[in-house]
Chain A
Amino acid sequence: MNAKPKILVVDDRYENLLAIRTVLRDLDLELIEAKSGNDALKATLHNEFALALLDIQMPEMDGYELASILREEEKTARLPFIFISAVYTDNLNVFKGYEKGAFSFITKPFQPEILINKVKFFIEKHQQEIALYELNKKLEIRVQERTQELENANSDLEHMLHMMKGKNEELEQFAYIASHDLQEPLRTTSSYVALLEKEIKSKLDERSELYLQHITKSSERMRTLITGLLEYSRIGKEKEKEAVDCNQILSEVRTDLDTLIKENNATIFVHPLPKKLNAYPVELRQLFQNLIANALKFRRKEINPIIEIDAVEENHLWKFSVKDNGIGIEEKFFNRIFIIFQRLHARKDYIGNGIGLAHCKKIAELHKGTIWVESTLNGGSTFFITISKN
């Protein structure tokens, strides 16, 4: 606000207006003069005033009346007044609008110093009010902007979440349909290759026989990949969680893997696990089965496998660990191993289709948890799985 503050001066007598103008001439103000209440009201239509100096005794509309009207108008409701009266009148109560805005009295003949000080006081107060008002306005705008930004960001997020959910379902559906439909022609291929082998194998030369072998091998690989994909897309589909005894699950897994465990001379330690965990039992069992089978598969040849399974309770989750003394994993592969179809070893060294750990990851996520590994090459691996309690 660089403009000079405006003051409305109302007096029916020219010499009074002149006197006021003279007294206030050194102040940085713009004086707008009016010789009647009506002129004063007109002036308020076109100007924003910081203060009004009102003569009380005027013909037609006196100072009090004018002040009351000004108080009623929204634009001037808070305009401070200084009433200038010839004498200290006892009709102070005539003016009823004092509760709304500041006002003061001064008597004629007035001492210039007093008028100057009063005007200065009100102008200063007015300027402070304006500054405060503008600060408030600015703050309000900032708050509105920030609120709007937050609302936008929020709705963007919601939208994205919605999209992601949709895309995820779409992908799972796609994987299911694709793998299901892909099996059909594959099965036909395998059948015809089998027929061909049976009918003409004896007539084939060595090279052609090799071709047939490779067709069979590739079809078989394709079949396991598709089956894996199909199972992967089915994880957690149309199933309910229930209270699961993890100790029970582990003992079943050990029974299932009994032959493998014995063949490998493996020792498995299972610490006490949660007796009542809200989980998908089939999937949880698959998770432990995959991890233990992996620990046996990726054992070190020179020592017997030792596998240790434990669970630690944390705030809202259970943290399971499956620790082995196997060949370990290089750190650079820590993430890749959980991606579907990603393998670390040549097929002739370790069989498998690169699905097991991807399954485990999906199962952990199904339980609002995660899976990760800590390992060093030749130093064994520990897989950690978190499962949310609810």
Chain B
Amino acid sequence: MGKKLNRVLLIDDDESTNFLHKIVLEDNVEIKNIEVAETVTEAFEILERSKGADKTEPDLIFLDLNMPGMNGWDFLEKYKGLHKNSLIFILTTSANPDDKKKAEKIKEVSGFRNKPLTGEMVQEIILEYFPH
């Protein structure tokens, strides 16, 4: 502990998954503001909203791939054009190696993990990406 994050955005269409991930995050790192989006559209609304205000961009975004309508890949496609620099981690249930390969080619993606998010995963990410 001891590390502090300002903002984390969770994008997943399953409410219960978001709820669980929020708890896991809260238990492992101090975060000022955890926001939840159940669709890609909602996620962009949240990202847009933060632009004008004094709020900063999210430090971390956890992204589900399989979502109704616009999916995780669609999110990444649109996100590229925004030139933001949140760290994006894909969290997916499908252990599909093709998805992993595809994700590795996208420079905006920092990591690829299988759901559910665990305390160890959070610790690992904090250690590696937020050492100070």
Residue positions of A touching B, CB distance < 8 A: 210, 214, 217-218, 333, 342-348, 354
Contacts and interface: CB of A to CB of B under 8 A. Distances in A.
B13 A347 contact: yes
B127 interface: no
A210 B19 CA distance: 9
Interface string B3-30: 0000000000111100110000000000
Most buried by A among B13, B15, B69: B69
A343 B69 contact: yes
Contacts of A217: 15-16
Contacts of A333: 69
Interface in B35-72: 38-39, 42, 68-69
A345 B20 contact: no
A345 B68 contact: yes
Contacts of B69: 333, 343-346
Given A214-B20, A348-B38, A343 B68 contact: yes
Contacts of B39: 345-346
A347 B19 contact: no
B37 to A, nearest CB: 9
Interface string B71-99: 00000000000000000000000000000
Most buried by A among B13, B16, B68: B68
9 contacts: A214-B15, A217-B16, A218-B16, A343-B69, A346-B68, A346-B69, A347-B15, A347-B38, A348-B38
B16 to A, nearest CB: 4
Contacts of B38: 346-348
Nearest to A329: B69
B97 to A, nearest CB: 20
A182 B6 CA distance: 41
Contacts of B14: 218
Nearest to A217: B16
Given A343-B69, A348-B15, A348-B38, 11 more contacts: A214-B15, A217-B15, A217-B16, A333-B69, A342-B68, A345-B39, A345-B69, A346-B38, A346-B68, A346-B69, A347-B13
Contacts of B68: 342-347, 354
Given A346-B68, A347-B38, A214 B13 contact: no
A348 B15 CA distance: 9
A330 to B, nearest CB: 8
Interface in B93-108: none
A333 B70 CA distance: 9
Closest 8 CB pairs of A and B: A343-B68, A214-B16, A344-B69, A346-B39, A346-B38, A218-B16, A344-B68, A345-B68
